[in-house]
Amino acid sequence: MGEYVNLSKRINASPTIQKRVIIKPAAVLTEIMPTLPTARELFTTLLPQLRIAANYAREIQSRIVAQPEKGTSDNFFSTALTDADLSVQTFIEVSLLSQFPQVRFYGEEHAQSYNTKYFRGITLGEEPGDYLITLDPIDGTRWYMDGTDNYQIVLTVLDQDDYLGVLIISPATQDYFCTLRGEGCRWGTLAMDLDSLTPVTIATPKSGVYISWGMEAIAPHLPPAYQAIRSRDYTTQNPRPNFSRILRGDLCGAVLRAGKWLDGAALAFSVREAGGIVTLHDGSPVPPMSACVEYQLPGLVVAYRPEVHADLLRTVQAAAELEVQG
């Protein structure tokens, strides 16, 4: 401390040195790593705005106007875009910037957003605790456009290692799931606050296994006890359940080609916190977020029960072996 005081005196005594900017270590730390709210504090503060966004999405669904599709992928789920996607994201961005301007934020429609440039960053920070907030403003846009209730707003908080929290709001059914790390997954109506939610327990999930786009080859290898629900088979006349239905017990497991931070990985985290099992396709543990690229985890196997998870792993591996041989 004495050396710092002497240095200050020398600086004050020299007009030349006075022009230099000396920043204390504590000030540097504050600038790099601002004080951030906990995931619970963030969710509690944003819940009123999320209720408004949910009611907006539900109200305009029957009159929704589609925007030009994103990209040229054959996956019609990933290319769908509506006015609601853009409006909900803008509303949450404005809410965040007005209340938590120090956060990092990545929204699915960041490329079209007027607000992306005002956030401190759109990627994970370099230090633990410098978390990233992500938003999928309308997860299940194709279902939303087709007038079904199978869509949701997904807000997450994720750190270097894993999620800190996930909110999954269903405007059509007026309820939501809240998952906080180490506290389990909870459910309640949209009118309820976080402390009033009920723990999610899936005692007897149905036999459906969700198979994401690009994983269709495993369907023929599923044991007869399971029903393959392939996302590629979706039609307006046959709107198959999406992965989000796993939190309601409509699915017993899922195989994802990749776990996108915005939605698929967030749902898998919620299943795990509700007592389920999540691994990579080879059965190895899910890697930390800091080891991932392109805002996604590798392919995931998700199940509520150990025996279901084991069956799905064998199915994935059997399909992979045949692909190698063929």
Give residue 144's pLDDT band: very low, low, confident or very high (50, 70, 90). confident
Given a cut of 70, whether residue 2 has pLDDT beyond it is no
- The per-residue pLDDT for 69 is 55
Cβ atoms of 196 and 212 closer than 8 Å:
no
Average pLDDT over residues 76-102: 82
Given a cut of 70, whether residue 22 has pLDDT beyond it is no
- The per-residue pLDDT for 91 is 96
Over its C-alpha atoms, the chain yields an Rg (Å, rounded) of 23
Question: What is the largest distance, in Å, between two alpha-carbon atoms of the chain?
Answer: 85
Percent of residues, the chain, with pLDDT higher than 70:
82
Given a cut of 80, whether residue 276 has pLDDT beyond it is yes
Average pLDDT over residues 176-185: 98
Lowest mean pLDDT among 28-32, 97-101, 270-274: 28-32
DSSP letters for 175-208 = EEEEEETTTEEEEEETTS-GGG-EE---SS--SE
Given a cut of 80, whether residue 113 has pLDDT beyond it is yes
Spatial distance between the Cα atoms of 84 and 65, rounded to a whole number of angstroms: 8
Average pLDDT over residues 210-236: 89
Spatial distance between the Cα atoms of 43 and 49, rounded to a whole number of angstroms: 10
Give residue 5's pLDDT band: very low, low, confident or very high (50, 70, 90). very low
How many Cα atoms are found within 13 Å in the side-chain-facing hemisphere of 298?
Answer: 11
Cβ atoms of 78 and 93 closer than 8 Å:
no
Nearest to 38 by CA among 159, 214, 152: 159
Phi-psi sector, 298: left (phi>0), alpha (psi -120 to 50), beta? beta
Tokens of 276: 């389920």
SS3 assignment for 33-66: CCCCCCHHHHHHHHHHHHHHHHHHHHHHHHHCCE
State pLDDT tens for residues 91-103: 999 999 999 999 9
| Cβ neighbours of 233 (radius 10 Å) | 12
State pLDDT tens for residues 146-175: 888 889 999 999 999 999 999 999 999 999
**Does the CA dihedral 261-264-266-272 come out positive or negative?**
negative
Spatial distance between the Cα atoms of 250 and 253, rounded to a whole number of angstroms: 9
Q: Which residues of 277-314 are buried (b: 16+ CB within 10 A; e: fewer)?
A: bbbbbeeeebeebeebeebbbbbbbbbbbeebbebbbe
CA 243 to chain centre: 13
